[in-house]
């Protein structure tokens, strides 16, 4: 059976940059974009050209620099926005104009102050104008998950009739649950897309911690593009984490038989580069790329990992670009981990020495959060100065 291809749309440079503390200078954006291209993403959303001169310059620069991936610019359903996006993308090898309008009643009443008929007209005008500049047009219905389904499908139908090649179903405020999101994607597929050559995309936010789960549910329901970010950065609680989505498909290929173009060994380098650019690092317990993702302190876990990493690791550190797992010595560590660390230092202990050193180690670990190599050398038996020197 042929595996269905999932398009990876990365919005680290657009939605990701909108999160507090994540703004990037032009050269940093270009550097990150080149790493995303090396990672293998299919689409890089480089910014919102109408938002500022800096965003326009960033989109234009990324479009020039990245020749092996689609480069997208975001714009509202406003003619001047679309013209600005087209200008920024004019030198792209594969340009995409991504236009959006809100479709939920709460947005129509309080933000847009538009009727449903006016939103349909805005959609038709914007998509038609975008198609004057590029063949690849994505249309997003902002706040889709809180929209009336009949109206949402009517707007999407208008977008397709006017030339949209991708329909994006965003969970803009992170409101939906996996089961109901899957039903919404199925409705769009059955009522709008049918047998047309149109992709369904999803863009999930993490306000309830469900961005990745919702994205996975949407793929199973028929979505063929996922919008995500490195380290899950983005507005408020962030977007679906690219590295988590990819490794779910890698580890659980038995339940998710899909293919993509991502080089998983570039996940950790991509995460590290982004962390060096923005003003904060990754939380230590972040899945896949966090400092503790492959670290083990509990003695039982350490023994298992030293015997066979598969005891407690469902993927190898190397598979995501992490050099090796990390045995952290602390008060929960056991003899096996302690002996292994001494062996790494070139020191072999006999039975009596192991008992003596382990007692000292436990006493020290009760006073210190972490025990380092210099501590291990300091608690060696006094009868073995030559071993310390080694």
* Cα–Cα distance for residue pair 203/100, rounded to 1 Å: 12
Q: Which of 342, 351, 334, 349 is nearest to 377 (CA)?
A: 342
Q: What was the pLDDT predicted at 302? A: 60
* Cα–Cα distance for residue pair 273/246, rounded to 1 Å: 18
What secondary structure letter does DSSP report for 132? T
Domain extent, residue 19, equals 4-277
Residue 336: both structure tokens together: 């096996």
Residue 340: both structure tokens together: 């292994």
Q: Which of 63, 54, 118, 123 is nearest to 88 (CA)?
A: 63
Residue 385: both structure tokens together: 């100065």
Could you list the beta-strand ranges (E) of 172-281. Answer: 199-204, 225-228, 258-259
The answer to whether residues 155 and 120 touch, using CB atoms and an 8 Å cutoff, is yes
**Which of 226, 243, 277 represents a domain boundary (last residue)?**
277
pLDDT-based confidence at residue 386 (cuts at 50, 70, 90): very low
86 & 230 share domain = yes
Tens-place pLDDT, residues 158-211: 999 999 999 999 999 999 999 999 999 999 999 999 999 999 999 999 999 999
136 & 205 share domain = yes
- Picking from 121-130, 299-308, 332-341, which range would have the lowest pLDDT averaged per residue? 299-308
Domain membership of residue 210 (yes or no) is yes
pLDDT-based confidence at residue 376 (cuts at 50, 70, 90): confident
Mean pLDDT of 53-79: 97
324 & 181 share domain = no
Tens-place pLDDT, residues 239-291: 999 999 999 999 999 999 999 999 999 999 999 899 989 978 898 899 999 87
Q: What is the pTM of this model?
A: 0.85
Quote the percentage of the chain above a pLDDT of 90.
70
Q: What was the pLDDT predicted at 390? A: 36
Number of domains in the chain: 2
299 & 272 share domain = no
* Cα–Cα distance for residue pair 50/88, rounded to 1 Å: 9
Query: What's the residue count for the chain?
Result: 390
């Amino acid at each position: 059976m042929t595996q269905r291809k999932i398009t990876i749309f990365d919005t680290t440079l657009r939605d990701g940059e909108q999160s507090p503390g994540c703004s990037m200078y032009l050269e940093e954006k270009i550097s990150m974009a080149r790493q995303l291209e090396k990672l293998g993403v299919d689409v890089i959303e480089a910014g919102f050209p109408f938002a500022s001169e800096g965003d326009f310059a960033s989109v234009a620069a990324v479009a020039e620099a990245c020749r092996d991936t689609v480069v997208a610019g975001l714009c509202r359903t406003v003619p001047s926005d679309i013209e600005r996006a087209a200008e920024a993308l004019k030198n792209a090898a594969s340009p995409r104009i991504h236009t959006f309008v809100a479709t939920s009643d709460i947005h129509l009443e309080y933000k847009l102050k538009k009727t449903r008929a006016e939103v349909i007209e805005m959609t038709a005008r914007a998509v038609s104008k975008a198609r004057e500049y590029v063949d690849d047009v994505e249309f997003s219905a902002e706040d889709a998950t809180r929209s009336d389904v009949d109206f949402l499908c009517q707007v999407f139908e208008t977008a397709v009739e006017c030339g949209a090649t991708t329909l994006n179903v965003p969970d803009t405020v992170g409101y939906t649950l996996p089961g109901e999101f899957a039903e919404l994607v199925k409705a769009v597929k059955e009522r709008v897309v049918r047998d047309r050559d149109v992709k369904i995309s999803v863009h999930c936010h993490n306000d309830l911690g469900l961005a990745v789960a919702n994205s996975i549910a949407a793929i199973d329901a028929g979505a063929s593009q996922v919008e995500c970010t490195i380290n899950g950065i983005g507005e408020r609680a962030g977007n679906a984490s690219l590295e988590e989505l990819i490794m779910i498909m890698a580890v659980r290929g038995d339940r998710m038989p899909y293919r993509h173009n991502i080089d998983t060994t570039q996940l950790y380098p991509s995460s590290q580069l982004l962390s060096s650019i923005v003003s904060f690092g990754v939380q230590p317990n972040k899945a896949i790329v966090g400092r503790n993702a492959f670290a083990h302190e509990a003695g039982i876990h350490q023994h298992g990992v030293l015997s066979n990493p598969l005891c407690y690791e469902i993927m190898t550190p190397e598979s995501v670009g992490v050099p090796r797992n990390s045995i952290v010595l602390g008060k929960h560590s056991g003899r096996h981990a302690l002996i292994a660390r001494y062996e790494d230092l070139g020191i072999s202990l006999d039975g009596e020495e192991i008992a003596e050193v382990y007692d000292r180690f436990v006493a020290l670990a009760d006073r210190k959060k972490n025990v380092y190599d210099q501590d291990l050398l300091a608690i060696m038996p006094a009868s073995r100065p030559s071993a310390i020197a080694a």
